[in-house]
A and B are shown apart, each in its own frame.
Chain A
Amino acid sequence: MNILITGLITGSMLALLAIGFSLIFGVARIVNIAHTAFYMIAAYTIYFLSAKLGVSPFWAMLIAVAVVVALGLLAYRFLIDPIREHEAAVLIATIALAMIMQEAMLLIFTGDYLTVSALIQGFFVVGGVKVFHQQVLTFVVVLIILAALWLLLMKTNLGLAIRSTAEDREVANLMGMNESRLAMITMAISVALAGLTGAVIVPLAVVSPFMWMEPLIIMMAVVVLGGLGSIKGSFVAAYILGFTEALVVFLIPKGAFLKGSVALSIMILVLLLRPEGLFGVSFEEER
């Protein structure tokens, strides 16, 4: 039971992170290493607003997402966009960006571990296991976000343009889709997802300036397993990894210490056996 709950929640969180990361990679070929750093910023914003200023947690979450989107767009406009065609430069720039955010949080909030109280208190017992209401809430909210994202991508004109550009940006261009504008919009959606992940996970997690590193690695493993750029792949792979992680933590003695290595082992295995991932498409070479 514990495995199921932890697996579902970890999986959902990973799905949100990995889909956001995949989206911007798919549309603009941007590998945004700072993706999970935005998630950290959201967590800190919520901590600051709710614990220090007494803003209600719900509003704190919304403001946090807005802050992260604003930061993401600024970073895109002034840091990533000018060097967008240099993949390696983008990689380095976003690593630097993540470091800057980490150090900024370290300066402002020090390295202390911080916590945010749960939105709703209490728990119920299923099969002898305590299930906190907050866990259920987080899971439900994640499902709602995923559903909204699915609707946006599959049922709107914007979603059609995003998917078209992700698949073949040259042909999308021929159809009248403005690729650089779409990249900007996708960046906003992508970091909003990172911010939302931070927002829903913060009552269950510890806030620290280094909290972006572990999810970054696991998220990369998810993206590799699911296939780079595939949204469906990210979704499925997130739950696979979420459950694997939960299994390892609960079934192997001292398994918690193996968490990180499990993700990395899966990543290496996938790269060795099936580099394109579960649902990966081998990208057609662009001229």
Chain B
Amino acid sequence: MLLEISHLTVRYEKAVLINDLTLSVDTGELVSLVGPNGAGKSTTLRAISGLVAWEREIKRRSTSGDIFLDGTVTFDGERIEAIPAHEIVRRGLVLCPERRRPFREMTVLENLLAGAYLQKDKRKSRETLEKVYALFPVLKERTRQISGTLSGGEQQMLAIGRALMSEPQLLCIDEPSTGLAPIMRQEVFAKIEEIKRLGITILLVEQEVSTVFKLAARNYVLSSGKLIAHGRGEELLKDETLRKTYLGM
């Protein structure tokens, strides 16, 4: 297994955001994490990408409440749950965050280069850049454009492209389709499939369950920080209560 989360619990003060979560992602898979708002999907991604560990460091220093993290996260055979975010990227795990969050004042190219920050070999980052441009031709057309002026869909492509610039083994994407027009959503999903075909493992958090279930081989359903169900899309959809209560379909 490339990624194994075992009995992960995350608590902010008294609020339990993730409760005893166990899941795994194998190399080459596209796995989804679905569930209602506040189910702990984003927190799961933040925990494995090191943002929770980083935030805990900050809170400890400011004594403004504590974050509690228990359980283990193993990536590529190494325990990573206590490692801060900036150290995790170089191990090949990257998060494309919620709400895209491009560096809005910088150009498209600068955003992409920021993604390749750790790659000191300029020739290699040049090569990766060409791959990203091949995947997202629209970014190549807009190299010099300030990213804050891109459309929502383009910003999403940029955010994914920026994450890919770190040459990840595992790409975590948090709600890529939120706030996009239907056509743009389809395009984003098509790109995600294409990335999977490039051999990159993907852990996808999404609201749009119907599309995701077609895309992902396996799906984890979360609610209130707990794992509710796990399986192939069509199996999960057969369960009436699950469909109505947790998937909103």
List residues of A whose CB falls within 8 A of some B CB. Answer: 82-86, 157, 160-161, 163-164, 167-168, 170-179, 281, 287
Contacts and interface: CB of A to CB of B under 8 A. Distances in A.
Interface residues of B, number: 33
A177 B86 contact: yes
Interface string B78-115: 00000011110110001101000101111000100111
Contacts of B177: none
Contacts of B86: 173-179
B104 A167 contact: yes
B249 interface: no
A167 B114 CA distance: 12
A276 to B, nearest CB: 14
Closest 4 CB pairs of A and B: A85-B62, A176-B89, A176-B118, A173-B85
Nearest to A85: B62
Contacts of A85: 58-59, 61-62, 64
Contacts of B113: 160
Contacts of B97: 170-171, 174
Contacts of B94: 174
A172 B105 CA distance: 14
Contact of B61 (A84, A175, A178, A281): A84
17 contacts: A83-B61, A85-B61, A160-B106, A160-B110, A160-B117, A163-B110, A167-B103, A170-B51, A170-B85, A170-B97, A170-B101, A173-B54, A174-B51, A174-B95, A174-B97, A175-B86, A176-B86
Contacts of A168: 101, 103
B62 A174 contact: no
A15 B104 CA distance: 24
Nearest to B165: A175
A152 to B, nearest CB: 15
Q: B-side binding surface: helix, strand, loop or mixed?
A: helix
A157 B114 CA distance: 8
A86 B117 contact: no
A171 B101 contact: yes
Interface in B205-229: none
Interface of B: 49-51, 54-55, 58-59, 61-62, 64, 84-87, 89-90, 94-95, 97, 101, 103-106, 110, 113-115, 117-118, 162-163, 166
Given A164-B117, A174-B51, A177-B114, 11 more contacts: A160-B117, A161-B117, A163-B105, A164-B114, A172-B114, A173-B50, A174-B85, A174-B89, A175-B118, A176-B86, A178-B86
Contacts of A161: 114, 117
Contacts of A176: 86-87, 89-90, 117-118, 166
A122 to B, nearest CB: 44
Contact of A173 (B51, B62, B115, B118): B51
A163 B106 contact: yes
Contacts of A163: 103, 105-106, 110
B95 to A, nearest CB: 5
Nearest to A178: B86
A177 B86 CA distance: 6
